Structure 1
Amino acid sequence: MKKIITVFLLSFYCTVFSQNKTIASTWTSLVQPVNVESMQNWKFRVSAKIRKESHSNSKCAIWARIDNSDNTVGFFENQAYSKIEVTKEWKNFQIEGNVSPEGKILNIGAFAENNGSFYFDDFKLDVLDPKSLKWVNIPLKNGGFEEGLIAGKDWSEGIGRKVTHVKNFTITASDNKPFSGKKSLLIKADNIIGNMPHGKFADVNGIKMYYETYGEGEPLLMLHGNGQSISAFMNQVDDFSKKYKVIIVDCRERGKSTYDKTKELTFDIQVEDLKQFLDKQNIKKVKILGWSDGGILAILMALKYPDLIDKIACSGANIFPEGLKDEEMKDLKQSLAQLIKENKDHKNDVYIDLYNLDLKYPNLKYEDLKAIQCPSLIMAGDKDVIKTEHTVKIAESIPKGQLAIIPNSTHSVVVEKPELFNSLVIDFFEGK
């Protein structure tokens, strides 16, 4: 993605449960909506007990969000992106907030991300009565999960306004060491890429680069975007691993890969990371699929190491910063200024590096692309953050360039239309 999301905004509207559609994601949520129209301007607190059995980089937490009557969002907090510590032992966690003047629905949720077993119990909601100044308990439906879980009753699973099931996750009522009563909520995830037991690290260019491999055959390297990691290609691995040996890496400063704080994050240094990585894997010829900044890296690899690259497919790539739409550039600059202003104790250093990367680099010219020798598929959504004319010009400037502008899609076409996207890329890779 070009725009790095430093605050994770969950936009659940989970009032209807549907198993008709399954999507791929690294996270899921279970939610219960509570009508708070009679409690506008009141203070509230949500609490629950949580424990987990998972990898260290997995997360679970409670979250709460106020939906206003005009469909805007009032209060929001997801504790997964704060400094809470969930362990194997039950601990109580609490969120406090205010119902907005136009507040209609308070959504109370359980959140889980990446592989592991995540347990929740004893959800409670209290509100502060402004007349008595006393906290009053608002009973939740099945807040201790003693009634089990029935699809669409009391609690619902989902991501986004259309509630869907997230593959690799199962959500059940469990009798494994509940906090109280006989049952608790269990959200369990397995086989989410980027967090697999078979993942490895390679020592390259002064860093440790994390990678995972899937399938057999010709090597295909997948490169994610700026604020992403291996998991960006959750919708691609299954299809492509049927034909290729898929190799997906976390680029430096992202995912599990490390970085050297003394060196500026540039595309050039990442190109050298990838070259050394491929050398260590003894790969002499490789196809590359790159999304966003990953597409930029694919183009640069094809320019610098033409004998190594068989074909490249790039989605949402630009060759100089002005290839971004003007409003996107403006947003990036404003976000960077805010990050710098709020950078206490170096907490935003990595985000600042990532923003600077896209604001300063790359600095190619269209005529530079004439040196690319390999067949190159240049793609973008018709509503991409990359200017359409920029994408077209890139494809036209590469001698063996092909163009695909995918309708009704954005910079996230890889996620929005995976079947179409995968089919286009595989047809291109398989073509003569």
Structure 2
Amino acid sequence: MKKNLSLFLLLFHMLIFAQNKTLISNWTSYVQSVNVEDKQNQNFRVTAKMRKDNNNNGSNCGIWCRVDKTDGKNGFFENQYYTVQATNEWKIYEIKGVIDPTGKLLNIGAFAQDNGDFYFDDFKLELFNGKSKKWIEVPLKNSGFEENLNSDNNWYEGIYSGETAHIKHFNIESSAYQPASGKKSLLIRGRNIIGTMPEGKFADVNGVKLYYEIYGEGEPLLMLHGNGQSISAFINQVEDFSRKYKVILVDCRGRGKSAYDKNKELTFDLQTEDLKQFLDKLGIKKTKILGWSDGGILAISLALKYPELTDKIACSGANIFPEGIKDDELKSLKEYKASLVSSNRNHQNDLLIDLLDLDIKYPNWKFEDLKNIQCPSLIIAGDKDMIKTEHTVKIAEFIPKGQLAVIPKSSHFVPEEKPTIFNQLVLDFFEDK
């Protein structure tokens, strides 16, 4: 369902991790934070040069900005990862915005996701002077990465607000290879990240091409990601589960490397049929399913529509109607959609709007419908999930063989936040006879 809708929810709602921790993710960010308490309400623009070398494997990079307010909440936010496509040629990219009335820090970052070599150079921050009608540059430390990268030049690696954390599978360094200017540029290098691996394949199903990767041997286990995710969402699960199962990871239509058909409304029924045809192509008659967020909704849908196909299902952060989402979270989704619609001049936001509509409008089951699910079902949520706790509890109660697990000190992103606990919990459930 909700993760990573343009990284909106990810960067706004993820928990804070301890400094200098090594995390596992398919994306990373290199950030400089500028104090803007004396620049509130001013117009700003950030520009940077960017290019990528990734053999067109579907990965991408972008520049991003976020304002942290004095009350600890987030203000202005834009990440161009989803709205621009980097090429192997240096180009200048720009973000414009207004510093919030209570803005404290303006975070300016380089963002990279999945396998590839991603280059950045010549970051610039400017404020608009209303009196002179000119843009005035605000100096950034090591903006062209000519100096060595270290903690003394205000840049830090991290994917959580104000926290330094190294992300496994990524290396961040200065590079002398074909900089945009000067002698060096910033290089973020991603390697061995699921979702853009050379072993991946495509399957033609239901009018679209679906990308998939398979790891391990044994009984099949289908893993289904959330709304704005791809199969790389399970980067913390593949190693543990592939020791015991044949793990099948598939990008749902319009996500990752899978194709999208704009002429068909994106619904859970449509995706359920995608997955049924996909499993038929692979010759799989029965499978266990692990679904996260929208993937959990799809697991429930498969169990309802194709009971003969589902052995066991484990669903984390799933809802069965839109109002199962917490009121403020659902409001945020609607507001975000409205902002995308208003700025959708060249149809660049079409897919994101469709993805938001999916969760704003669907699914539309009733609790009574869940009595038709006959397979053992583990219903999981974080105690601070974006799904209402009472909604999660009722899902488990109405499924005849339902079990409930609410994991403390975790959110909608519990598979990332608590992978050790989450993985063992699901493995124990799958192996229980």
Q: Place the TM-score, normalised by the shorter chain, in its bin.
A: 0.7 to 0.9
Describe the superposition over 1:374-396 as per-residue Cα deviations: whole angstroms up to 9, x where unpaired: 22211122233333333223323
Instruction: Give the total of aligned pairs.
Output: 427
Please state whether the residue corresponding to 1:178 is helix, strand or coil.
coil
Q: Distance in 2 between matches of 1:118 and 1:281?
A: 35
Please state whether the residue corresponding to 1:156 is helix, strand or coil.
strand
Q: Distance in 2 between matches of 1:350 and 1:261?
A: 8
Relative to structure 1, the CA distance from residue 260 to residue 138 in structure 2 (aligned partners, 3 Å threshold; closer, same or farther) is closer
Matched, 1:376 2:377: yes
Moved more, 409-418 or 45-54: 45-54
TM-score, structure 2 normalization: 0.85
Alignment correspondent of 2:120: 120
Q: Distance in 1 between matches of 2:399 and 2:296?
A: 14
Q: Distance in 2 between matches of 1:77 and 1:356?
A: 20
Q: Distance in 2 between matches of 1:339 and 1:94?
A: 17
Moved more, 394-403 or 122-131: 122-131
Q: Distance in 1 between matches of 2:363 and 2:145?
A: 52
Alignment correspondent of 1:291: 292
Q: Distance in 1 between matches of 2:346 and 2:35?
A: 40
Q: What's the CA shift for 1:232?
A: 2.0
Q: What's the CA shift for 1:19?
A: 6.9
Alignment correspondent of 2:165: 164
TM-score, structure 1 normalization: 0.85
Alignment correspondent of 1:188: 189
Q: What's the CA shift for 1:242?
A: 1.8
Contact 2:54/2:117 (8 A) holds in 1: yes
Alignment correspondent of 1:423: 424
Higher Cα Rg, which structure: 1
Q: What's the CA shift for 1:30?
A: 1.5
- Cα root mean square deviation, aligned: 3.3
Alignment correspondent of 1:179: 180
Q: What's the CA shift for 1:22?
A: 1.5
Moved more, 17-26 or 268-277: 17-26
Contact 1:30/1:158 (8 A) holds in 2: yes
Alignment correspondent of 1:200: 201
Alignment correspondent of 1:248: 249
Contact 1:230/1:249 (8 A) holds in 2: yes
Counterparts of residues 134-173 of structure 1 (less than 5 Å)? 138-151=138-151, 153-161=153-161, 162-173=163-174
Q: What's the CA shift for 1:220?
A: 0.6
Moved more, 357-366 or 131-140: 131-140
Counterparts of residues 299-314 of structure 1 (less than 5 Å)? 299-314=300-315
Contact 2:142/2:153 (8 A) holds in 1: no
Q: What's the CA shift for 1:23?
A: 1.6
Q: What's the CA shift for 1:152?
A: 5.4
Moved more, 33-42 or 144-153: 33-42
Contact 1:148/1:183 (8 A) holds in 2: no
Contact 2:6/2:79 (8 A) holds in 1: no
Q: Distance in 1 between matches of 2:265 and 2:53?
A: 37
Alignment correspondent of 2:34: 34
Q: Distance in 1 between matches of 2:116 and 2:276?
A: 33
Counterparts of residues 296-375 of structure 1 (less than 5 Å)? 296-333=297-334, 344=345, 346-375=347-376
Q: Distance in 2 between matches of 1:213 and 1:270?
A: 20
Q: What's the CA shift for 1:278?
A: 0.9
Q: Distance in 1 between matches of 2:367 and 2:124?
A: 59
Counterparts of residues 397-416 of structure 1 (less than 5 Å)? 397-416=398-417
Contact 1:3/1:332 (8 A) holds in 2: no
Q: Distance in 2 between matches of 1:346 and 1:42?
A: 29
Relative to structure 1, the CA distance from residue 61 to residue 423 in structure 2 (aligned partners, 3 Å threshold; closer, same or farther) is same
Percent identity for Structure 1 against Structure 2:
67
Q: Distance in 2 between matches of 1:143 and 1:332?
A: 34
Relative to structure 1, the CA distance from residue 333 to residue 190 in structure 2 (aligned partners, 3 Å threshold; closer, same or farther) is same
Contact 1:8/1:81 (8 A) holds in 2: no
Q: What's the CA shift for 1:72?
A: 4.9
Please state whether the residue corresponding to 2:269 is helix, strand or coil.
helix
Describe the superposition over 1:180-232 as per-residue Cα deviations: whole angstroms up to 9, x where unpaired: 44332211111222222222110112221111112222111001123322122
* Runs of 5+ consecutive residues of structure 1 not aligned to the other structure: none
Contact 1:173/1:184 (8 A) holds in 2: yes
Alignment correspondent of 1:280: 281
